Amino acid sequence: MRISWFFKEAIISLKRNWVMSMAAISTVALSLLVLGLFAFVALTLDDLITSFERQVEIEVFLKDEAPFQEVQALQEKIISWKEVKNVKYVSKEEALRKFKEKYKDNPEMIEAIPGNPLPASFQISLKNPKNVVRVAKRLEGRKEIDEVKYGQQVVEKLFAVTKVVRMIGLLFILLLGFASLSLIVITIRLAIFARRNEVSIMRLVGASNWFIRLPFLLEGMGQGLIGAIIAIILIHFTRVTFFEKIAKSLSFLPISFGFDLFLKLSASLIVAGLCIGALGSSIALRRFLKV
């Protein structure tokens, strides 16, 4: 079949039905703009949450009397666990140096310490911070280990909060996506209703169903694509003029609103626009294609 004919028909009909096309395009653009801005903020927050989660570490304080070989063997053993990303050994001397560093403005604090009471420790970072409790439990009670600290309550609260935040974000994105799809189905149905004569004539002269569907499908996808591009341009301007200022004024938080994220979002919006256009016109056409 001649694909060019379908594209030609789609472009001609975009031009000749430009009012309806404009309506559909602006609907797609607005829906995707709202969806995109929300997703952008949500994803940025997600990045932020992830960076908080990454900071979750386990601190293992070692007994002073544990022999160095055993400590070394333990370190190697912990590294070999599949949940563990890295184990850093902090010797007694290093701990003291850090302590002195930290309180260098309070010499009396340092002077009050006789000798070196600080224990050596491991700082364990995990591949997935969700495993922190499991790994910590496994470490507790070993003979080389004095104490395992991982800020249990803080970690559990953090995960509870991030779970809820993510669920709400996902729910909003789904709702907004559904709303956009409905709006677009209605708009395209109106556009097709305005052209039902064309469809009925196509059927009368014996056009097969997919032959009737394809130009509408391409038209819907074209509208979705243009709408997505408009939404992306608007999101870009919002990012440059607004988000980056926010990020600067909140520089103590690791917020980026980065270009990487923007590119990924743009790609998703284009895919979403194409899908919404195609899906919308198929749903809208179904009623008109019953034999």
Partner 1 sequence: MIKMRNVTKYYPNHSEPALAEINVDVEKGEFIFLVGPSGSGKTTFIRLLLREILPTTGEIYVAGIDVLHLRPWKVPYLRRNIGCVFQDFKLLPNKTAEENVAFALEVLGRSQHVIREQVPEILKLVGLESQGHKFPSELSGGEQQRISIARALVNHPPILLADEPTGNLDPATSLELMALFDRINKMGTTVLVATHNREMVDSMRKRVIALENGRIVRDQVRGVYGYED
Calpha distance 108→105 (Å, rounded)? 9
Dmax (CA) for the chain in angstroms is 100
Single-letter residue type at 153: Q
Residue 233 in contact with partner 1, rule: CB under 8 A: no
Beta strand spans in 2-117 (E): 57-62, 84-90
Of the listed pieces 31-39, 126-134, 200-208, 272-280, which binds partner 1 according to CB under 8 A? 200-208
| Contact (Cβ atoms closer than 8 angstroms) between residue 46 and residue 120 | no
In the set 16, 88, 98, 196, which binds partner 1 (CB under 8 A)? 16
Of the listed pieces 32-40, 102-110, 115-123, 197-205, which binds partner 1 according to CB under 8 A? 197-205
In the set 170, 207, 253, 271, which binds partner 1 (CB under 8 A)? 207
For partner 1, the closer CB: 112 or 205: 205
Among residues 121, 133, 181, the alpha carbon closest in space to that of 157 is found at: 133
| Contact (Cβ atoms closer than 8 angstroms) between residue 135 and residue 81 | yes
- How many CB atoms neighbour CB 18 within 10 A? 11
Residue 5 in contact with partner 1, rule: CB under 8 A: yes
Single-letter residue type at 185: V
In the set 53, 59, 146, 198, which binds partner 1 (CB under 8 A)? 198
Residues in binding contact with partner 1, number by CB under 8 A? 20
Residue 128 in contact with partner 1, rule: CB under 8 A: no
In the set 50, 167, 209, 236, which binds partner 1 (CB under 8 A)? 209
Which residues form the interface with partner 1 (CB under 8 A)? 1-2, 5, 16-17, 197-198, 200-209, 211-212, 291
